[in-house]
Every structure is written in structure tokens, then in C-alpha cells.
Amino acid sequence: MDARIARSSVAGRVRAPPSKSYTHRAILAAGYADGARVEHPLVSADTRATMRAVEAYGGRVDRDRAEEYLDVEGFDGRPDTPDDVIDCANSGTTMRLVTATGALAPGLTVLTGDDSLRSRPQGPLLDAVRQLGGRAESTRDNGQAPLVVGDSTGGGGVSIPGDVSSQYVTALLMAGAVTEEGIDVDLETELKSAPYVDITLEVLEAFGVEAERTGRGFAVPGGQSYRAERYAVPGDFSSISYLLAAGALAADEGRSVVVEGAQPSAQGDAAIVDVLRRMGATVEWDRDAGELTVTRAALSGVEVDVGDTPDLLPTLATLGAAAGGDTRIVNCEHVRYKETDRVAAMATELEKLGAAVTEREDELVVHGDDSDLRGARVEGYHDHRIVMALSVAGLVADGETTVEGAEHVDVSFPDFFDALAGLGADVHRVD
Ligand SMILES: O=C(O)C1=C[C@@H](OP(=O)(O)O)[C@@H](O)[C@H](O)C1
Ligand SMILES: C=C(OP(=O)(O)O)C(=O)O
């Protein structure tokens, strides 16, 4: 499905979708518990993959019709050996987090996913499971899924790189709490995407599970039980970044875009608020009300380090293409290991829209002064964030922009195009 976006302006109120990262963790934490109600969950393609995994390990997930909550019955720290292969679809978070769960089951678990997920790196996590005495294999012996894990890991110490994915740490901490010995994670490198581990620690605490930072990494004592009656998911700041970018670039003269559901939390991607301010936008954040208000402004390029916030790169690249001067996005090598190589994808597709960019291994520079955005047909790379960022660029490109693969927003922000249309954007989906 394509999305066709004509140059248009936006204004009004819009609700942010619930956080994907918190929803994954809350569903799995409820699975490790004997159950819990997850309130305001994100129900999307990726979080459905985590629901399937919890069910495969012996839990059960019931949704109310309005999707206001999920009632999760857990497997109480003792996952069953799944009856079938677990299909993690497009979700890296699901695959990493539930690989560690599989290492606790008595038999073997087989995990797979779509073409994109089967090309993402899993080697360091497999190696960690082996260091813990479990079995962990990549069927093609290339560190990628399909994966086979099992053999009831009892816990222990592991040493892993921190610069590929923080999800390995999250996976080990979540599983480690219900092992006998607990798990000590030593990081061999600096940790990228570190705020995502803070999100994990926040959810663990809410489920009564102790885990801590150590001098060299993280540690979780074993023999713990996950316990919570209910867990409420906050709004998603990665998703909010597209709405704020739309407002900063295309709000009607004298009007604003107000984003609801923006409560403070551990999400690193809340940094979008400061980046927009540094670029010259006026963004007000009423933290108590959870409301962000943004108006249109002439933006100037800035330097942004995305070491902690990889998912902001597509949004920042779009903002840079519409800003004056250079926007320099640095420390972005790990953004190449996502649903697609997002550094290359944004460089290639923004160029099609008339932007001038310089791509380096660990840096993307968007030269706003040499960019003149005009509508074109662009690829979405089957990647929700590329689709959403290019659609926002379409709001300020001359004429009409066609973004391929519009259906992929279902991964994290299923109502994205309705939200844009609700703000008055001229957007249509066509088969
Ligand atoms: O743990 C999480 O919820 C996530 C961690 C990040 O991945 P990496 O840690 O692999 O960078 C982020 O890009 C992803 O969208 C969600
Ligand atoms: C990279 C992402 O998610 P995951 O790693 O779960 O596929 C994302 O949502 O941008």
C-alpha cells in the first residue's frame, strides 16, 4: 500500500500511541509473573509477536474489545517448551527478549521472523546464553535467526558487547531474575541505546524485581518472583517525534499541534523535545498533563548524538532536510542494524526528495541550505520509521510525495495516517 501526501499544513490535538518498548516489557513481565493486567497497551504487529511468545511459553493473553487493557496469565517463572516455532515477525525486541526466555525452558525453542528480522544480529546474545551453560544456535551459523535455544540456564556471569543492541542486556536481566543464580552482565564496550535498559529497570521495579547497575554493567539476583496486579503503559516518544516534527514543520500559521499522552518516563527519545528547541522550535511540555504543544518555526540545523536514541534518526534526518544549515547526526552506526539500514535508507530517499546529504559510516549530515524538497516516489524499505519520517517530509515537499509500504506503520503506530489526516494533512492511502 502507498501513502500519498500532498504539501499541506496541520493543527489540532492528537493522542500519542502507547509505548512499544514499555508494552513489550509489560507483557513479558506479566508472563514471567503469574499474570497481570497491562493497561493502555500498544496493540501493534510487534507487540502481538510478544503476546504470541508469552502464549507459546504457557501463558495466555486476553484483549478487551476496546484494547484498553490486556489480561495476561503468566507462566510464573517457568516457561514451557513451546509446541511450535515462535514467529517474531518484524520485531527485534520480541526476538531478543524471548530468546532469553527460551533458554530457561527444559526443551528447545525455535525462533524465526520475517526477512528483515532474519538478517539482524543475534550472535552476542546466543554467545551469552552459551556462557550461561545453555544451548543457543543460529541454524545457518551466521549469528542470525532462525535460532534454537534451550537447556534450562541456571544463571551466572556473561560478558557481551554493548554497541550492537541494548536488547541483549534487557533480555538477560528479565530472564535472570527467575534463574537460580541470577545473571551478572559485564559490558565489553560502551553501551549504546542505554535509556532502553533504564526502561527495563523501571518495569522490573514495578513488578517487584530487583536489578542494578554495577561498575562494569548490570546485575540481577536470581530466585525472584515477578508480581504486579496492573501496569499502565505511558505514551511513545519515538512515535511522538513524528507528530512534533509535523507540527514544527507544517503547523498552520498562528496555530499549534498539541500531543496528548506525553507523560515523562525513562524514554530516551523524549530528547526530541530538546532537539527541536535547539533547532529553534517552540515546544511547551506540560508534564503533569502529559501534553506537548508545538508551533511552526524556521528551523536551523544542529548536531545530534543518537547513541542513546537510535530511533530518532529518521525523524531528525527529515527535520534536517527542511531546516537551514547542516544537521549533523553522529554516533549512528548502530542505526544500521534496525529493520533496515536506516542511515543509508534516509540518505537515499531524502536525496530523491531533493535533499543534499553526506553519509559516513557513523554520521549522516543533511545540508538543509542545499536542499529543496519536492515530491517524489520514495521507498519505505518495509520499515515503519522510514515510512513515517518520509511522510512527514511529504508535508513540506512541493507537490505530492508517494511513500511505498504505508502498511508497515502497523509495527509501532497503527493509526499514524489517521492521526496525520486528523490534524488536517492531505494524505491518502492507495492499494
Ligand atoms: O529495547 C527496546 O525496546 C528497544 C531498543 C532499541 O534497540 P537497540 O538496543 O537494538 O538499539 C530501539 O532501537 C528499539 O526500537 C527498541
Ligand atoms: C528497531 C525497532 O524495533 P525492534 O528492534 O523491536 O525491531 C524500532 O521500533 O525502531
CATH number of the domain bearing residue 203? 3.65.10.10
Instruction: List, for residues 231-284, the tens digit of each pLDDT value.
Output: 999 999 999 999 999 999 999 999 999 999 999 999 999 999 999 999 999 999
Q: Are residues 366 and 268 in the same domain?
A: yes
To the nearest whole number, what is the mean pLDDT of the chain?
97
Domain boundary among 215, 232, 249: 232
Q: Are residues 180 and 284 in the same domain?
A: no
Percent residues over pLDDT 70 in the chain:
100
Q: Is 311 a catalytic residue?
A: yes
Q: Are residues 262 and 280 in the same domain?
A: yes
Predicted local confidence at residue 80, as pLDDT: 98
Q: Are residues 80 and 216 in the same domain?
A: yes
Predicted local confidence at residue 116, as pLDDT: 97
Q: In angstroms, what is the span from residue 392 Cα to ligand 2's centroid? A: 19
What's the pTM value of the predicted model, to 2 decimals? 0.98
CA distances from 77 to 32, 226, 318 (A): 5, 8, 44
Predicted local confidence at residue 203, as pLDDT: 98
Distance CA 314, CA 391 (A): 11
Instruction: List, for residues 204-234, the tens digit of each pLDDT value.
Output: 999 999 999 999 999 999 999 999 999 999 9
Q: Alpha helix locations (H) across 121-270? A: 123-131, 167-176, 195-206, 237-250
What atom of ligand 1 comes closest to residue 20's alpha carbon?
A: 3
Q: Are residues 47 and 164 in the same domain?
A: yes
Distance CA 47, CA 242 (A): 20
Mean pLDDT of 378-391: 98
When divided into structural domains, the chain yields a total of 2
Residues framing ligand 2 (Cβ under 6 A)? 20, 46, 91-93, 311, 338-339, 385, 412
Is 385 annotated as belonging to a binding site? yes
The grid cell for 7 is: 504539501
Neighbours of 147 (CB within 10 A): 26
412 lines ligand 1 (CB under 6 A): no
Q: Are residues 136 and 11 in the same domain?
A: no
Neighbours of 409 (CB within 10 A): 29
385 lines ligand 1 (CB under 6 A): no
Nearest to 425 by CA among 3, 120, 143, 6: 6
Q: Are residues 355 and 308 in the same domain?
A: yes
Distance CA 145, CA 147 (A): 5
Q: Are residues 347 and 323 in the same domain?
A: yes
The distance from CA 35 to its chain's CA centroid, rounded to whole angstroms, is 24
Residue identifier of the C-alpha nearest atom 4 of ligand 2? 92
Q: In angstroms, what is the span from residue 342 Cα to ligand 1's centroid? A: 13
Domain boundary among 180, 204, 232: 232
Percent residues over pLDDT 90 in the chain:
98
- Ligand number nearest CA of 168 is 1
Mean pLDDT of 368-383: 97
Q: Are residues 55 and 129 in the same domain?
A: yes
**Quick one: DSSP state of residue 8?**
-
Domain boundary among 188, 205, 232: 232
Of 87, 236, 269, 311, which one is the catalytic site residue?
311
Q: In angstroms, what is the span from residue 277 Cα to ligand 1's centroid? A: 25
Q: Are residues 217 and 249 in the same domain?
A: no
298: pLDDT strictly greater than 90: yes
Residue identifier of the C-alpha nearest atom 7 of ligand 2? 92
What atom of ligand 1 comes closest to residue 192's alpha carbon?
A: 11
Q: Are residues 214 and 252 in the same domain?
A: no
Residue among 240, 311, 316 whose CB has most ligand 1 atoms within 8 A, to mutate = 311
Range(s) of the domain holding residue 80:
20-232
65: pLDDT strictly greater than 90: no
Q: Are residues 225 and 240 in the same domain?
A: no
The answer, yes or no, to whether ipTM is higher than 0.95 is yes
Q: Does 414 sit behind a cis peptide bond, omega within 30 degrees of 0 on the bond before it?
A: no
Distance CA 201, CA 154 (A): 21
67: pLDDT strictly greater than 90: no
Predicted local confidence at residue 66, as pLDDT: 86
Residue identifier of the C-alpha nearest atom 3 of ligand 2? 92
167 lines ligand 1 (CB under 6 A): yes
What atom of ligand 2 comes closest to residue 95's alpha carbon?
A: 6
Q: In angstroms, what is the span from residue 376 Cα to ligand 1's centroid? A: 30
Q: In angstroms, what is the span from residue 355 Cα to ligand 2's centroid? A: 26
Residue identifier of the C-alpha nearest atom 12 of ligand 1? 311
- Residue 127 three-state SS: helix
Predicted local confidence at residue 109, as pLDDT: 98
Residue among 50, 93, 239 whose CB has most ligand 1 atoms within 8 A, to mutate = 93
